[in-house]
A = this chain, B = another copy of it.
Amino acid sequence: MIKTPYLLFLGDAPDQLAAKVAQGIKDWRPDNAVGQFRMEGCKADVGLTDMTLEDAKAAGAATLVIGVANRGGVISPEWKKVLVMALEEGFDLASGLHNLLSEEADLVAVAAACGRELHDVRIPSVEYPIANGKKRTGKRVLAVGTDCSVGKMYTALCMDAEMKKRGMKSNFRATGQTGILITGDGVPLDAVIADFMAGSVEYLTPDNDADHWDHIEGQGSLFHVSYSGVTMALIHGGQPDALILAHEPTREHMRGLPDYQQPSLHDLRDTALTLAKVANPACQIVGISVNTQHMTDVDAKAYLAEVEADMGLPATDPFRYGAAKLVDALEAI
C-alpha cells in the first residue's frame, strides 16, 4: 500500500500525454494529490498547484509519485537529483516505470539511510496463491474488450464513481500500473507468474458485503493473441457477476497486430459469457461501454443507439456521457 496523499512528479515532460499517469490520479483521485512538481522545461500541467518538496511536505504529502513517462529507458541525472532530495525530505517514492527504482543503487542506499520506501508498482510485492475457485461473497463486475486499450480502466473508474455518488458500496480494483498508482493498491497482473494469475485476482477481490461491488480493471482481450491469457485469468479469477463489453469502433485492426481484425460485439458477448459462466454460472452481460473519443457527438450518439438496438443492451460512453446507464443495469441484478 502506497502512502497518500501524493506529490505528483511531472519532471521535464515533453508534452501533456507523457504525464497521463499524473492526469489519471488528478482526474480520479484528486484527494490523493496535494500538488504537482514540475522541473524546468516541463510541458505538462495537470492543473494542480505547483509545489516545492518543502511546500508539499508542509501540505502533508507522504509519497512522490512519478506521474510521467521517462525517455530513453533511463532515469536521468536531473530526475535523480529530485528523487534523492525527496527521499531526504521524508517522501517515499512510487513509480510504474519499466526502469525499477529498486535497481538504482543510489536510490536504494539513500532510501535505506532515510528509512523511506521505494514502490515499483510494475512488479508484484506479494506471493499470490494458486486460484481455488471458491465462490466469494459480494458482487464483481469486469469490462472485457474487443481489443486492448479500448477504455476498460476508465469504464471501471466511471462506474465506481457513479456508485459512490449514489451511496452504494463500491471499490475500483486495479490490475495495471496506472490503476495501481491512482488507487495506491492493486495487482500488476501482466507481471505475475502464469500459474498465479487467477489466484492474484482472487486475492485482489476477496469476500465482501453482499451489496458491495468490486469494479475489476480489465486487461488485454480474449481476441488479442499477445495478451488473451491475462484476460482469461481475470474472467476466471474474478468470477464476475456482470460483464461490460468494451469497444472502440474506429480501430482499423487489433492494437499492434496489423493482420488481426477486431471481433464483433456479438462474438465477444458469446465467447466471454461462455467462459465467465465456468466460474460464475449466474454471470450476465449487462451493458456496453463504447469509447467514442474519435467520433463527433452526433456520430457517437447515433452509434450508441445503433448498438443498443442491435445488442438489446444499454450502451454508453461512460467517460463522455456518464455511467448511469451501466450502473442502473448493475443495480438491477
* CB of A207 to closest CB in B, whole Å: 16
> What are the residues of chain B within 8 A of A223 when measuring CB–CB?
278
- Segment at the B interface, from A34-42, A178-186, A232-240: A232-240
For the side of the interface on A, what is the size category? 35 or more
Not counting A190-B195, A195-B227, A198-B228, a sample of 9 additional A-B residue pairs whose C-beta atoms are within 8 angstroms of each other reads A132-B256, A190-B194, A191-B193, A194-B194, A194-B197, A199-B226, A222-B275, A229-B236, A232-B232
Complex-state Cα separation, A199 to B209, whole angstroms: 40
A314 within 8 A of B: no
A271 within 8 A of B: yes
B191 touches A130 (CB 8 A): no
User: Copy number of this protein in the oligomer?
Assistant: 2
* CB of A156 to closest CB in B, whole Å: 19
A133 within 8 A of B: yes
A71 within 8 A of B: no
Complex-state Cα separation, A62 to B198, whole angstroms: 39
A248-272 Cβ-contact flags toward B at 8 Å (1 or 0): 0000000011011001000100110
The residue that A233 contacts in the complex, of B229, B259, B263, B271, with Cβ under 8 A, is: B229
Give the 7 A-B CB pairs with smallest separation, nearest first: A229-B233, A225-B236, A232-B232, A229-B229, A190-B195, A131-B226, A229-B232
